[in-house]
Amino acid sequence: MSKQCFCEAEPCHAGKATIEAFAADFAKKMGYQAGGELEMVVEQMGGKIVYQTFADLSRSLDASIRVMGSGNFEIYLPDYTNAERDRFSIAHEIGHYILHYPLANAPMVARRFGSTRVEWEANWFAAGFLMPEAAFRKQFARHPKNIAGVARHFRVSTAAATARAKALGLL
């Protein structure tokens, strides 16, 4: 039995605003609403989430997502992070699947670490998916001095909500 080879994710080179808007539209198409369950989205797409211990992660190939084929992928998360962080990570990995797998059209892997164009694109996707611009602006207006309240609404970390507010010019 031969070992399956995975190509590295390559950037799609779409702009930040385009990716964020695409992610917000994709979330709507999947029936996802702010603060909703991401596990259901992953299952609907044919994927699964695998939680790993620190030892498992250190023995892995540093993959955060492995795509074996269309509708067949695994997202790897550490079992020691909090739910808000995991939600951003899951949305980020969905971004790799949606943005980068179609370009590969072959088994693909995205690595856990790095600051590359591929990772930026997945982060933009996650922000647009979890915190669509219009909804984020509305919540921020309701809680202008309470970023923690905005973060709770979207079930993301205060760091993620702060980064989104800054990216949208609200802070």
Three-state SS at 47: strand
Which residues does residue 74 pair with via DSSP β-bridges, in sequence order?
A: 48, 66
* Cα end-to-end distance, the chain, whole Å: 55
Q: Which domains does the chain possess?
A: 13-131 (1.10.10)
pLDDT over 70 percentage in the chain: 93
Q: pLDDT tens-digit profile of 159-169?
A: 999 999 999 99
Residue 14 DSSP class: -
* Range name among 33-47, 59-73, 78-92 with the lowest pLDDT average: 59-73
Residue with the two structure tokens 């917000």: 24
At 4 the pLDDT is 77
* Spatial contact of 38 and 156, defined as CB atoms under 8 Å apart: no
At 60 the pLDDT is 57
Q: pLDDT tens-digit profile of 56-84?
A: 766 555 569 999 999 999 999 988 889 99
Q: pLDDT tens-digit profile of 106-143?
A: 999 998 677 899 999 999 999 999 999 999 999 999 98
* Spatial contact of 97 and 67, defined as CB atoms under 8 Å apart: yes
**Distinct helix (H) and strand (E) counts, the chain:** 9, 5
Q: Which of 3-12, 25-34, 49-58 has the highest mean pLDDT?
A: 25-34
At 115 the pLDDT is 87
Tokens of 1: 């039995």
d(C-alpha 65, C-alpha 96), whole Å: 8
Question: Residue 150: pLDDT band by 50, 70, 90 thresholds?
Answer: very high
At 1 the pLDDT is 41
2: pLDDT strictly greater than 70: no
44: pLDDT strictly greater than 90: yes
Q: What is the pTM of this model?
A: 0.92
